[in-house]
């Protein structure tokens, strides 16, 4: 919303929001119309989350908010006030070792141009947190709505299946982002 101040100058009404992103507390003043994608990329420099179609069709901007996958291009930043957000950068927070999902994507050649990778990895994270032993059909359903420009779907499905096996053999604290 834009208002005129006493001096006639246009002012913007910003909203103060507080949320966690990848485990870190964030306090920001944001315009009410800004998307979570814009705030993550422009204000927090978390550029792993891509901007794709802008209408929630491609999945490149997927992040996890309070345990659910959302399209950050459609999610207003003000709506995450008081919530927890995880981006692809949060999968391997130490930066020293890849998360099993990321490792499997590399191992299976599921990263081609890389544009869909972050969204696919976040969808896989969500899927495996709810279903640690998915079938191929369940993996494909869990990744539906995430488009790969390079059509690397078979490698992506194989990577998610491999990551599920790897994650089952590890202790929970070894795979929790």
Q: Render pLDDT for 100-134 as a digit per residue (tens, 0 to 9).
A: 999 999 999 999 888 899 999 999 999 999 999 99
Residue 162 sits at the vertex; the CA angle it makes with 156 and 165, to the nearest 5 degrees, is: 145
Question: Does residue 23 sit in the same domain as residue 63?
Answer: yes
Q: Up-side HSE of residue 19: CA atoms within 13 Å toward CB?
A: 26
At residue 13, the pLDDT reads 87
The token pair that represents 50 in the structure block: 């891509």
Decide if pLDDT at 67 tops 80.
yes
Domain CATH code at residue 61: 3.10.20.30
On whether residue 123 sits in a domain, the answer given is yes
Domain hosting residue 171, numbered range: 100-175
Residue pLDDT, tens place only, 78-87: 999 999 999 9
Pick the last residue of a domain from 50, 66, 90: 90
Question: Does residue 117 sit in the same domain as residue 79?
Answer: no
On whether residue 6 sits in a domain, the answer given is no
On whether residue 116 sits in a domain, the answer given is yes
Question: Does residue 106 sit in the same domain as residue 48?
Answer: no
Pick the last residue of a domain from 90, 108, 137: 90
Question: Does residue 79 sit in the same domain as residue 112?
Answer: no
Pick the last residue of a domain from 69, 90, 111: 90
Report residue 99's pLDDT band, with 50, 70 and 90 as the boundaries. very high
On whether residue 7 sits in a domain, the answer given is no
Give me the number of domains the chain comprises.
Answer: 2
Question: Does residue 85 sit in the same domain as residue 123?
Answer: no
Question: Does residue 80 sit in the same domain as residue 104?
Answer: no
Residue pLDDT, tens place only, 4-55: 555 555 556 899 999 999 999 999 999 999 999 999 999 999 999 999 989 9
Strands 10-12 and 2-4: antiparallel
Distance CA 42, CA 72 (A): 13
Question: Does residue 113 sit in the same domain as residue 57?
Answer: no
Question: Does residue 156 sit in the same domain as residue 118?
Answer: yes
Question: Does residue 42 sit in the same domain as residue 60?
Answer: yes
Question: Does residue 45 sit in the same domain as residue 70?
Answer: yes
Q: Which residue has the tokens 């391997």?
A: 92
Domain CATH code at residue 134: 1.10.150.120
């Amino acid at each position: 919303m834009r208002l005129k101040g006493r001096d006639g100058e246009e002012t913007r009404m910003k909203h103060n929001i507080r949320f966690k992103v990848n485990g870190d507390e964030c306090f920001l003043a944001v315009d009410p119309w800004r998307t979570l994608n814009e705030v993550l990329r422009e204000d927090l420099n978390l550029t792993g989350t891509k901007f794709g179609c802008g209408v929630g069709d491609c999945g490149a901007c997927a992040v996890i908010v309070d345990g659910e996958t959302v399209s950050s291009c459609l999610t207003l930043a003000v709506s995450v006030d008081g919530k927890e957000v995880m981006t692809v950068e949060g999968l391997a927070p130490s930066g020293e070792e890849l998360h099993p999902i990321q490792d499997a994507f590399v191992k299976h050649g599921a990263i081609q141009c890389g544009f869909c990778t972050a969204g696919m990895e976040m969808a896989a994270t969500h899927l495996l947190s709810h279903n640690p032993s998915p079938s191929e059909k369940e993996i494909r359903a869990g990744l539906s709505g995430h488009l790969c420009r390079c059509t690397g779907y078979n490698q992506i499905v194989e990577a998610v299946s491999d990551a599920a096996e790897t994650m089952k053999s590890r202790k929970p604290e070894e795979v929790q982002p």
